[in-house]
Structure 1
């Protein structure tokens, strides 16, 4: 299962690809979730925290169901969330740094 999270950048679109470890021998599905940061001031701690909160919520939601709309097993959900979050972290940090320090 692969989860992709899109975060609109200040100028353009930043893409967060978040692969997840699904059950062995299972076909991979792709889910795309859009997370808006347009209304956030990422130069502030509160804005950065809100972006992190939105990404966490979107990741949980995206990992809850498989491509057929069935609830995924708990171990797959936890793995999906963990891997998606791990993959997104550096890209989110880069987005916040770009807002704060230019780039």
Structure 2
């Protein structure tokens, strides 16, 4: 795959915490070393995405520690949103874009 990196942005954080879009926490997930056409590569990608989602959802945009409920809600929404992003990027790669 030609996908060099995925940006995991906590899109839900802006809604949940009413912060501006520019202040959203983000993490970069390296995928260049993964063979995403294999089950092992896809499983490792999911593990990395989970780790990154936990990282971006731990704190709010002001650097304040989120409550467990806020972190959990952010994590669920972020993983849901990133699954859509991964599907879009994967389909574009398959189409040669």
TM-score by length of structure 2 reads 0.74
Counterpart of 1:73 in structure 2 is 67
Counterpart of 2:86 in structure 1 is 92
Does structure 2 retain, via aligned residues, the 8 Å contact 1:19–1:87?
yes
What is the Cα deviation at residue 88 of structure 1? 1.1
Match runs of 1:5-20 below 5 Å: 10-11=2-3, 15=7, 17-20=9-12
Gaps of 5+ in 2: none
Gaps of 5+ in 1: 1-8
Counterpart of 2:54 in structure 1 is 60
Once superposed, which parts of structure 1, at least 4 consecutive aligned residues long, lie more than 3 Å away?
11-18, 26-29, 93-99
- Matched positions, count: 91
- Of Structure 1 and Structure 2, the greater helix share is in 2
Counterpart of 1:47 in structure 2 is 41
- Of Structure 1 and Structure 2, the greater strand share is in 1
Distance across 2 between alignment mates of 1:71 and 1:18: 15
- Does residue 33 (structure 1) correspond to residue 27 (structure 2)? The answer is yes
